[in-house]
Chain A
Amino acid sequence: MTESAGAKAQAGGGIASQWRRLTAVQRRRAILTVVSLLLLAFPLIDRNGGDIDAAANACAFATLALGLNIVVGYAGLLDLGYAAFFAIGAYTYGALASWQVQPLWSDFWTPLQWLGLVDRFHADGVPDVVHFTFSFWIGMPVAAVVAAFFGVLFGAPTLRLRGDYLAIVTLGFGEIVPIVARNWPTVTNGAIGLNGVAPPKLFGYSFGVDSEPFYYLGLLMIAAMILISLRLQNSRIGRAWMAIREDEIAASAMGINLVSLKLLAFGIGAAFGGMTGAFYVSKLQTATPDMFMFPVSVMILVMIVLGGMGSVYGVVLAAIILQLLQSWFLQDLTGWIHALGKWVDSAWLQRVDLVQSIELIFGIILVTMMLFRRQGLIPATRATPALTLDQQTAHASRGGFATPIRGIQPTPAEPKQAMIEVRNLTRRYGGIVAVKDLNIVVESNSIVALIGPNGSGKSTTFNLITGMDEPSSGQVFLLGQDITGLKAHAITERGIARTFQNLRLFSNMTVLENVLVAMHSRTTTGPLAATLSLPRSRAEEREAQEHAFEIIGAFGNRLLPRANQLVKELSYANRRRVEIARALASRPKVLLLDEPTAGMNPVETLELSDQMRSLRQMGLTIFLIEHKLNVVNDIADKIIVLDHGEKIAEGTAEQVHSNPLVLEAYLGRKASHA
């Protein structure tokens, strides 16, 4: 008895230990394979047409959730009216594949007829009309494109709004689209609903009312969208979106064009929604405006919140769970409660219908997930293994960066050409003048320090130079070119990089990802190239990673072992270093550092000073805000002093220190002058 039990334990232990030996990636592959096989075999196991139908519908909602995941999960744009794109796609396909829209026949339509897209319909006594007969395989992409177009149309004026305002505006669009559909009967047949939308045909075989082909098509759509989402997520575009989600301002300082990337996310999300709309309406063969109202948008949002924003598998899992809940578990649970009611003879129990309370459950899910598990069922970020003692030890090294850093090189410039020149720069906020008539020259390949008491306008000056703020008057030049008023990302593209006084890292991204984001303006992989995983983009990604590791490695043991750790887990000093590493990644010509040594002890401060010096040696220009006067004295070629927004002194360390205005500004007047 014991022996066989022992043998069983061995066998069970065998599988368990085999499982343990697999890596995380292999385990995920195994689970995915099993799940995929189950999903593929599902219609063969359960032959009930109704169940397969419900499953096909679930596929549609899963793809909608994946589409919204790109908008909300990746780019952080809360869209409460996503059903609008679902509707637009559905009605577009409906118009192209039914008898609804019947313009009068003219020769214009003949080439389309030749292509098989339209038909000429003749009825006695009335002029001939056009019958749209777009094939599903053409109509669906068209629906996606039309939806994407509306996504861009809605997004262009509104995407610069703040998160909660954007949500309300998208809610508004989500309301307007069904109303327009209801009030435009010529195209949509209004509230009565479309009649006779054609189902897809494959090799002459029409899907008709069979659910199986739709189910498999739905699975294919999910698989395709998972692939696209993952490819985008791990690409330059995905990183840029996540940077936007984390900190818009820092993202634009990293060279990311906020407007175009947000529109891209919105448009791609809309395209996915439109594509699903075509699928859904071709299956149902009808569409009414009531099918696309606010509760549908909320349901998709619930899927994302439940699954985990930005988590592709989480979202699909959540879609499956909610569908199972609606179609099976709640019905079964209701049945059990009714049986219980009969048993205890309670009329109320026998009348309970849990299926009706699915919306209530949605509300409860939203509240509980936000309160207790904001990252969702399957969080988008993964846990990192702990560091060994070796990896944790770091000693301050002197002498700066040992090896040259890719991209940091001397800038060929005319003699006497300043790297940065600021002329008569002024910034007013209502009655307050933050910066007044500032004239600054930062020579190439030098280190210039900007000092002054608190509130003297140093950070404002930085903001004005880097495009985070717009000057009231005055100009900023980079290597002789006027860059006044340019947006932040354009300025980064031209070669100015910066760090922030209060640290603006992308907290939920790793050190490596933070550094990679900064290369946005130096790389070119677009969404299409990333999705198709073209060799060119793979090579670019490889090169970018190498470059990133080079930069991270330049900081030695401080950052290198932590390359895959989330930045928010790092120490304050290390986070400062990441900011600098990130700034270096954009191959700048000039680096603006805002209090880089804040929070560092004297040894670390010396280390960083040395590193700055070696950067200058490599050819970089550094413009530096610092409070630690010993650092300033040590490395600055020129010091500029600001007070109350005006330049009060300029020169070498000795010159500045003996300047009475400077002393007054820092130390105050003598009592006798009061």
Chain B
Amino acid sequence: MTYSDVLLQQVINGVSLGAMYSLLALGFTMVYGIIELINFAHFNVFMVGAFFSMWILKLTGLAGEKVILTGLPLAGVLLLALVCVMLFCGVLGVVIERTVLRPLRNVPGTAAMITTIGVSYILFNVILLSQGAAAVNFPNPMPKVQWNVTVGTVLKLREVLLWTIALLLMLGLHFFVRRTRMGKAMQATAQDQEAARMMGIEVDSVVMTTFFLGSALAGAAGLVFGLYYNFASYVIGYTAGLRAFTAAVLGGIGSIPGAMLGGVIIGLIESLGGQLIATRWTDVIIFSILVIVLVFRPTGLFGRMMIRKS
């Protein structure tokens, strides 16, 4: 492998990482755009999604790398898992919103955010106490296909799958927000809740839909994570969460294209930073970016344009 091969491979790695962060940042930034709430629980919904999708896949008979599927059965199984986990996590998000967050919606200050920290802790510890601290093997039904981009650089099937799913979900969200009635209601509520209410928009159900969608995306990200890394553990929400949060802030919190771009940028920083500097400093670099963005340009790259067209 030549050095340029290494760099190219790192770029591929970075974009894959970035796609993961984007997916996670999307749901998070949507919720913030609507109700200006930093939802800490989002990242542990993602973690729960990874475990849930693992169980779904195991139910269909998959285990470790022992069963490999291709073509239609593969697509079918993945689709089934995707739909199930998105439904489950979406409902989980709605339950959280209704029981814990709605009563606090009009309380000023950081009360709601503190509550999401509490919910996050609860999810984290329920999984920890019930599943244990050790990582668990995630079924990997995909065949080991890869292509050589250059002599030394490879692009794996699972990376292509990750990018495809992430892109499809992002496009789907984009379409939903721009074209459907509910999407427009979401845009309106994001800009001015009072005015939206006065226009006859039922803000409560808009918020609920937002949480459903955002959490469903988190669940999808959990499935994608499991397929990509082939393991699940109770801590995965933590680091991925902070990186995805930085991605959302960098891109402009409340902006969908911002989350996508921010995710890729953070992923590239992680991989190229690890290559050129050292992985032990990645966290410091990313947090410094977070602080710098918040202090000097809090609107991020795309500004707080809420869920608007790019």
Of the listed residues A173, A175, A357, A363, the one surrounded by the most CB atoms of chain B closer than 10 A to its CB is: A363
- Residues on A with C-beta less than 8 A from B38 are 164, 167-168
A52 within 8 A of B: no
Contact surface of B with A, Cβ cutoff 8 Å? 36-38, 100, 103-104, 107, 109-115, 117-122, 124-126, 128-129, 242, 245, 249, 280-281, 283-284, 287-288, 290-291, 294-295, 298
A-B contact pairs, 25 of them (CB 8 A): A78-B113, A158-B294, A161-B294, A167-B38, A169-B294, A169-B295, A175-B242, A175-B283, A175-B287, A180-B284, A298-B121, A301-B117, A357-B125, A357-B129, A360-B125, A360-B129, A363-B118, A363-B119, A363-B124, A363-B125, A366-B114, A366-B117, A371-B100, A371-B115, A374-B111
Chain A residues with CB below 8 A from B295, complex form: 157-158, 161, 169
- Per DSSP, chain B at the interface is helix
The chain A residue sitting closest to B96, CB to CB, is: A367
Residues of B contacting A365 with CB < 8 Å? 118
- How many pairs of residues, A versus B, come closer than 8 Å at their CB atoms? 109
The distance from the CB of A318 to the nearest CB of chain B, in whole angstroms, is 14
CB B106 to nearest CB in A, in angstroms, measures 13
Residue A631 lies at the interface, judged by CB distance under 8 Å to chain B: no
Q: Is A543 an interface residue (CB 8 A)?
A: no
Using known A-B contacts A161-B294, A161-B298, A364-B118, determine if residue A374 contacts B107 with beta carbons closer than 8 Å. yes
Q: B113 — which chain A residues lie within 8 A by C-beta?
A: 78, 163-164, 167
Q: Are B291 and A172 in contact (CB under 8 A)?
A: yes
The complex places the Cα of A173 from the Cα of B112 at a distance, in Å, of: 22
- Using CB atoms, name the residue of chain B closest to A247: B108
Given contacts A167-B110, A301-B114, contact A363 B283 (CB under 8 A): no
Known contacts being A366-B115, A370-B118, is A360 close to B126, with CB within 8 Å? yes
CA distance A230 to B38 in the complex (A): 33
Instruction: Evaluate contact between A359 and B125: CB separation under 8 angstroms.
Output: yes
**Contact for A363 among B120, B245, B287, B291, CB less than 8 A:** B120
- Pairs of residues from A and B, 7 with the lowest C-beta to C-beta distance, nearest first: A366-B118, A363-B121, A360-B125, A367-B118, A363-B122, A172-B287, A370-B115
- Contacts A78-B110, A168-B38, A360-B126; A176 near B283 (Cβ below 8 A): yes
Q: Which residues of A contact B (CB under 8 A)?
A: 76, 78, 80, 157-158, 161, 163-165, 167-169, 171-173, 175-176, 179-180, 182-183, 298, 301, 305, 356-357, 359-360, 362-367, 370-371, 374
Given contacts A164-B37, A168-B245, A367-B100, 6 further A-B contacts (CB under 8 A): A76-B109, A161-B294, A168-B294, A169-B291, A176-B283, A298-B121
Assembly CA distance A359 to B127 (angstroms): 12
Bound CA span A164–B253, Å: 12
Chain A interface helix/strand/loop/mixed: helix
Q: Tell me whether A359 and B121 are in contact in the complex, defined as CB-CB below 8 angstroms, given that A157-B295, A175-B242, A366-B115 are known contacts.
A: yes
- A374–B100 Cα distance when bound, in Å, is 13
Provided the pairs A78-B110, A164-B38, A305-B114 are in contact, do residues A179 and B294 lie with their beta carbons within 8 angstroms?
Answer: no
Asked if A370 and B122 make an inter-chain contact with CB atoms under 8 angstroms apart, the answer reads no
CA distance A161 to B280 in the complex (A): 28
**In the assembled complex, how far is the CB of residue B39 from the closest CB belonging to chain A, in whole angstroms?**
10
- A349 nearest CB across to chain B (Å): 15
Q: Which residues of chain B are within 8 angstroms of A169 by Cβ–Cβ distance?
A: 290-291, 294-295
User: Roughly how many angstroms separate A357 CA and B104 CA in the complex, as a whole number?
Assistant: 26
- Give chain B residues whose Cβ lies under 8 Å from the Cβ of A356: 129
Instruction: Give the complex CA separation of A656 and B183 in angstroms.
Output: 51
Give Cα A161–Cα B291 distance, bound, in whole angstroms.
10
**A602 CB → nearest B CB, Å:** 31
